[in-house]
């Protein structure tokens, strides 16, 4: 939200925040022209590319799983 506020301030764009319970509802609102811009953590999925215009991500994070060299052999309950 901080990034959006910087952009809106710099470009002198008026805006009003609206909350949505999940990303699907936000995407539905954009399809119904209820909002002009959706800001959130949205996945650029192949089925969405033709219907929505995405900006490039400004931040990327990864998820890593580290395991001991013997795998899960020593894990309880395995």
Distance CA 61, CA 3 (A): 17
- Establish if 68 belongs to a structural domain: no
State how many domains the chain has.
Answer: 1
Q: Which residue has the higher pLDDT, 48 or 10?
A: 10
pLDDT level of residue 12 (50, 70, 90 thresholds): very high
pTM exceeding 0.75: no
Q: Report pLDDT for 78.
A: 45
Q: Report pLDDT for 55.
A: 81
Distance CA 8, CA 23 (A): 22
Which residues form the domain of 24?
A: 19-57
Q: What is the pLDDT of residues 56-71, one digit of tens each?
A: 766 666 666 777 777 6
- Establish if 65 belongs to a structural domain: no
| Closest C-alpha to 27, from 13, 4, 44 | 44
Counting residues of the chain whose pLDDT is more than 90, the rounded percentage is 18
- Establish if 63 belongs to a structural domain: no
- Establish if 4 belongs to a structural domain: no
Distance CA 13, CA 35 (A): 14
- Establish if 8 belongs to a structural domain: no
């Amino acid at each position: 939200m901080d990034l959006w506020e910087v952009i809106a301030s710099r470009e002198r764009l008026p805006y009003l925040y609206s909350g949505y319970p999940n990303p699907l509802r936000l995407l539905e609102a954009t399809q119904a022209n209820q909002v002009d811009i959706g800001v959130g953590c949205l996945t650029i999925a192949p089925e969405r590319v033709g219907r929505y215009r995405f900006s490039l991500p400004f931040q990327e994070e990864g998820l890593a799983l580290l395991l001991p060299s013997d795998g899960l052999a020593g894990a309880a309950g395995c």
